Amino acid sequence: MSEKIIVSRDAGVLRLLLNRPEKKNALNREMYRALIAALDGAARDETVHAVVFAGAGGNFTAGNDLADFRDFAPGAETFPALTFVRAAAAFEKPLVAAVTGDAVGVGTTLLFHCDLVYASPEARFKMPFIDLALPPEGGASLLVPQRFGMAKASQYLLLGESFDGAEALRLGLVNALASPEDVLDLGMEAARRLAAKPREALLAARRLMRGEPNDILSRIDAEAALFAKALTSPEARERFAAFFASRAR
């Protein structure tokens, strides 16, 4: 397991802590592979009843490491990011997220696959895909309009505006707010409560609430095909180059 993903267990709950604070926990291939392995293990482990995502150092995640996007080559291995979001979407046990600081890109879209989300009021959610000349990912083109309605989905996907914890609570993305120091405790307590529920009834209720998983997986795959094509477009390459040039100053 990568040292950038710290795995711990507590009363039937598996906690996955994103641990790359110097990069605001931006997710690279190594981290995605570790998360995929952890979810695969959790799915098969009868003693794991819920999973919690959290970030170290005050941020959830700044999203995908753009170096992976910049270095993308057609015909390369399947993006681990795609495998991860498919794994999260298909995961059959409850998922909980504890969000502080930045939750950018996949840091926001992952939350639509979670059953419970807790955040600090100062948390900043943003889906800047179009600003990078990329389409949405992670099923966002389907799930964001369903959750937010078309007007707000357009505001946050098409305009790419950011929103805070209070707005996330109002929109139904977040269940409750707490101070940054208390968010993880709140998420872990909720996960422990889920883990203590009758297992088969809980999983059955979750399946019924979510509906047919192939609808989400098909949308994720359709987005991914467009995403891979867009990554090699001149417009996207220009945006990535501008981003790294600004970082080098």
Q: What's the gap between Cα 172 and its chain centre?
A: 16
pLDDT, residue 152, reads 98
Least confident of 27-31, 215-219, 233-237: 233-237
Q: Is residue 143 part of a domain?
A: yes
Which one is predicted more confidently, 18 or 67? 18
Q: How far apart are CA 180 and CA 120, in angstroms?
A: 5
pLDDT, residue 76, reads 47
**Phi-psi category of residue 102: left, alpha or beta, with phi > 0 → left and psi -120 to 50 → alpha:** beta
Q: Is residue 45 part of a domain?
A: yes
pLDDT, residue 75, reads 54
pLDDT, residue 206, reads 98
Q: Is residue 80 part of a domain?
A: yes
Q: Is residue 205 part of a domain?
A: no
Please report which confidence band the pLDDT of residue 246 belongs to, taking 50, 70 and 90 as the band edges.
confident
The total number of structural domains in the chain stands at 1
Q: Is residue 114 part of a domain?
A: yes
* Residue-wise pLDDT tens digits, 140-183: 999 999 999 999 999 999 999 999 999 999 999 999 999 999 99
The residue range of the domain holding 12 is 5-182
Q: What is the pTM of this model?
A: 0.94
Q: Is residue 49 part of a domain?
A: yes
Q: Is residue 20 part of a domain?
A: yes
Which one is predicted more confidently, 241 or 99? 99
* Residue-wise pLDDT tens digits, 167-223: 999 999 999 999 999 999 999 999 999 999 999 999 999 999 999 899 999 999 999
Q: What's the gap between Cα 80 and its chain centre?
A: 13
User: What is the DSSP code string of 75-123?
Assistant: TSSPPHHHHHHHHHHH--S-EEEEE-SEEETHHHHGGGG-SEEEE-TT-
The mean pLDDT of the chain is 94
Q: What is the CATH number of the domain that holds 167?
A: 3.90.226.10
Q: Is residue 125 part of a domain?
A: yes
pLDDT, residue 249, reads 64
Q: How far apart are CA 47 and CA 98, in angstroms?
A: 22
* Residue-wise pLDDT tens digits, 52-101: 999 999 999 999 998 877 776 665 456 789 999 999 999 999 999 999 99
